[in-house]
Amino acid sequence: MDIVQSRDDQLENLLGAMEELNGELEGVREKELAWAAEREELLSQLKESEIRKDHDAKSNNNNNNHQNSALSLAEREELIQLRSEVAEYEVEFKGLKNQDITIRKLEAKIEQLEKDREHELQTELSKAREELAEVEGRRATEALEREAITSRKVQSLELQLRAERAGREASASQLLAAEDGLGEHEA
């Protein structure tokens, strides 16, 4: 029973940890959705920036080479920054996937522990039933033996009683015969 209790305690601890992780996972998933939306926005801005760059480069090809290269430099810096942010979001997203995998593994472990606990309970219950059947069998055998002994004692006592009655009857009839003999003798 100590094993079952320790398994129950382990299971309760794991369930508590799972609930805590699920709470954290929900928060992380909300952040993930927000980051995904922000990522999409950044990617959209990046595409727009590249489109503007191409458009500006075509329209201002001959007019303002110096100004165009300055805008191009600012756009390149923005492009580098956006790509850096997208890379950071992808790293964080991979971390979230790893947490999700860990949670799935913990859920599988809890399920296995529950199955093991159920198996142990069934085994202990089976042992207890066997022990109970054995004890009951011994008790039934002992009761039958006591009944047989009591029955033999009753038969023995009945035989003794019959023998005593027969002896009394014989004594009484001898006494009567002797009294009859005395009475005839006196007469």
Instruction: Tell the burial category of 54 from Cβ atoms under 10 Å away from its Cβ (0-12, 13-18, 19+).
Output: exposed
Give the C-alpha distances (Å, rounded to integers) separating 183 from 51, 63, 142, 187: 157, 175, 60, 6
pTM, two decimal places: 0.40
- The DSSP result for 6-20, as a single string, is HHHHHHHHHHHHHHH
Instruction: Tell the burial category of 100 from Cβ atoms under 10 Å away from its Cβ (0-12, 13-18, 19+).
Output: middle
Average pLDDT per 10 consecutive residues for the chain, totaling 187 residues: 75 79 78 79 77 68 50 78 85 81 86 90 92 93 94 94 91 83 66
d(CA 78, CA 167): 132
- The reported pLDDT for the residue numbered 31 is 79
- Decide: 28 and 116 in contact? Cβ < 8 Å: no
- The reported pLDDT for the residue numbered 69 is 52
